[in-house]
Amino acid sequence: MLKIDRLNFSYGDLKVLWDIDLEVHQGEIVTVVGANGAGKSTTLKNVSRLVTWSSGTITFNGTDLGKLEPHEVVGMGIVQVPEGRKIFPEMTVLENLRMGSFIRSARPDREANIDRVFALFPRLKEREKQLGGTMSGGEQQMLAIARGLMANPKLLLLDEPSLGLSPLLVKFIFDIIQEINRQGVTVLLVEQNVYQSLRIAHRAYVLETGRVVLTGGGEELLNNEHVKKAFLGM
Ligand SMILES: Nc1ncnc2c1ncn2[C@@H]1O[C@H](COP(=O)(O)OP(=O)(O)OP(=O)(O)O)[C@@H](O)[C@H]1O
Ligand SMILES: [Mg+2]
């Protein structure tokens, strides 16, 4: 579905991604794990076309994303939930959700999708008239994911959805990601919570200073000696 091939990227003189190869197949949850500054968010930003790579290719079902604008990438069904939530603080929960279905292809499904995301996140339904900015951190994260789902993603890009959440909420968010995937959405998840993300991932990539150093099944990498030492404190 998504194929990243020998991707190189720099912010000005600072080279951040080195020959990244990464694939996501339809129906999978794929996770990219790595330390702060490894290049996880930058990888997602390249897929969303928010930045422009210097060499390599990214294709989605065979279409070269390099020629597309960010809104055209969304139109193809690739929807990014950015790091740090970035909901609209002055809008209500419901208004935030409606903003998520701005692309033409998602508009006819708007009301059905609102029902669908309220079923996943009952807490958002209880707070549908509350201003986004007054929601708790965890609720804002739920809203950000819910808003992403409003665009009818085929591939959902999630950047650190568990950041700053309590252990209970972290568990809830990872359960929800699995449920979204069961409903037919392919997921590319970027996380520092290595244990939880490998636990739910079909496959995973370990990124270190802009290079893929390991790849394998989620379960397999959970038992990998390097991963245990570097990320799991074992
Ligand atoms: N807009 C930018 N301009 C210049 N350098 C940047 C920019 N954004 C990120 N970088 C640098 O690129 C490198 C990779 O950053 P990136 O945000 O992709 O890392 P990350 O793996 O997502 O880290 P984190 O876990 O902290 O979110 C870092 O060294 C960072 O300082
Ligand atoms: Mg990041």
At position 12, the amino acid (one-letter code) is G
Asked if residue 223 has pLDDT above 80, the reply is yes
pLDDT at 117: 97
pLDDT at 86: 83
> Is residue 80 a contact partner of residue 159, using CB atoms and an 8 Å limit?
yes
- The residues, ordered by sequence, that sit 6+ positions from 9 with a Cβ below 8 Å of its Cβ are 15, 16, 17, 39, 42, 46, 51, 53, 54
Query: How far from the centroid of its chain's Cα atoms is residue 69's Cα?
Result: 19
- Rounded to 5 degrees, φ, ψ at 15 are -80, 125
User: Ligand 1 centre from 87 Cα, in Å?
Assistant: 21
Asked if residue 23 has pLDDT above 90, the reply is yes
Over residues 115-131, mean pLDDT: 96
pTM of the model: 0.95
pLDDT at 61: 97
> Is residue 73 a contact partner of residue 30, using CB atoms and an 8 Å limit?
no
Cβ neighbours around 77 below 10 Å, total:
20
User: Ligand 1 centre from 164 Cα, in Å?
Assistant: 18
pLDDT digits (tens, 9 = 90+) for 45-96: 999 999 999 999 999 999 999 999 999 999 999 999 987 778 999 999 999 9
pLDDT at 9: 98
Ligand 1 pocket mutation, candidates 8, 36, 42, criterion most atoms within 8 A of CB = 42
Q: How many helices (H) and strands (E) does the chain have?
A: 10, 10
Pairing of strands 186-191, 155-159: parallel
Over residues 99-119, mean pLDDT: 93
- Rounded to 5 degrees, φ, ψ at 149 are -70, -25
pLDDT digits (tens, 9 = 90+) for 186-201: 999 999 899 999 999 9
Closest approach atom of ligand 1 to CA 207 = 21
pLDDT at 104: 86
Over residues 12-36, mean pLDDT: 97
> Is residue 149 a contact partner of residue 186, using CB atoms and an 8 Å limit?
no
pLDDT at 4: 98
Number of residues written out for the chain: 234
Query: How far from the centroid of its chain's Cα atoms is residue 151's Cα?
Result: 14
φ/ψ region of 85 (left if φ > 0, alpha if ψ in -120 to 50, else beta) reads: left
Q: Which ligand is nearest to the CA of 33?
A: 1
Domains and CATH numbers, the chain: 2-77+153-231 (3.40.50.300), 87-152 (no CATH)
The sign of the dihedral angle between the CA atoms of 11, 34, 44, 96 is: negative
Asked if residue 234 has pLDDT above 80, the reply is no
pLDDT digits (tens, 9 = 90+) for 145-181: 999 999 999 999 999 999 989 999 999 999 999 999 9
> Is residue 153 a contact partner of residue 185, using CB atoms and an 8 Å limit?
yes
Residues with CB under 6 A from ligand 1: 11, 14, 16, 34, 36-42, 83, 192
pLDDT at 172: 94
Closest approach atom of ligand 1 to CA 34 = 21
- Rounded to 5 degrees, φ, ψ at 211 are -125, 145
Cα separation values, 155 from 16, 61, 73, 78, Å: 24, 11, 11, 5
User: Ligand 2 centre from 193 Cα, in Å?
Assistant: 12
